[in-house]
Amino acid sequence: MIDWNDRQARRRREGLLFLVLFALTIPAANYLIQHVGTTCVPNGPCLVPVLPGISAPSGVLMIGFALVLRDLVQRRLGVVAAVLAILAGAAFSALLAPPALVIASAVAFLLSEFADLAVYTPLARRRLVSAVVASSMVGLVVDSVVFLWLAFGSLEFLAGQVVGKAWMVLFAIPFVAWLRRRDARLGLAPA
């Protein structure tokens, strides 16, 4: 068992790492949606397959991770830091999004991350993995509907958006489970 000061320092370091990674998902998503995909729609997004016969704008890959990382920022740095990260992330998203996607990107980010926070917060102390899965699922649906509707006036890629983001959440769950077990072993209580 490590002493209290070491636990606090580790929590802060890890929280800052999660915060930086969370912030990096925003430019990465904006870059991907414009430049990376198996198909790039003229005046539209670049698409990637997420299931046979289902494609999604490639930015979904980062948004799924962003939802999980926001939960980890809250776990390490607290709810106030998570709220500030959401607000900064929405502004950052608006600054980095292509002009046609600024409103859609910022509003979808803001609403989905606050939906994630609202679900995660009451569940996190009892069941971390369940809280991350439940909050991410709510957040990814909100993000998908809001972004697609505001950006393209259509929900044509909704299934792909939801599936693509869900894949990224699923890929992150083993890490979240490991983190929970390690926290319990080291006595690292959440913020």
Domains and their CATH numbers in the chain: 4-186 (1.10.1760)
Q: What is the pLDDT of residue 20?
A: 94
The residue ranges of the chain whose pLDDT is under 70 are: 1-2
pLDDT in tens, 70-118: 999 999 999 999 999 988 888 887 787 777 778 888 899 899 999 999 9
Instruction: Report the SS3 class of residue 110.
Output: helix
Q: What is the pLDDT of residue 2?
A: 65
Q: Which amino acid is at 80?
A: V
Residue 150's φ and ψ, nearest 5 degrees, are -70, -35
Bridge partners for 54 per DSSP: 51
Q: What is the pLDDT of residue 65?
A: 93
Q: Is the pTM of this model over 0.75?
A: yes
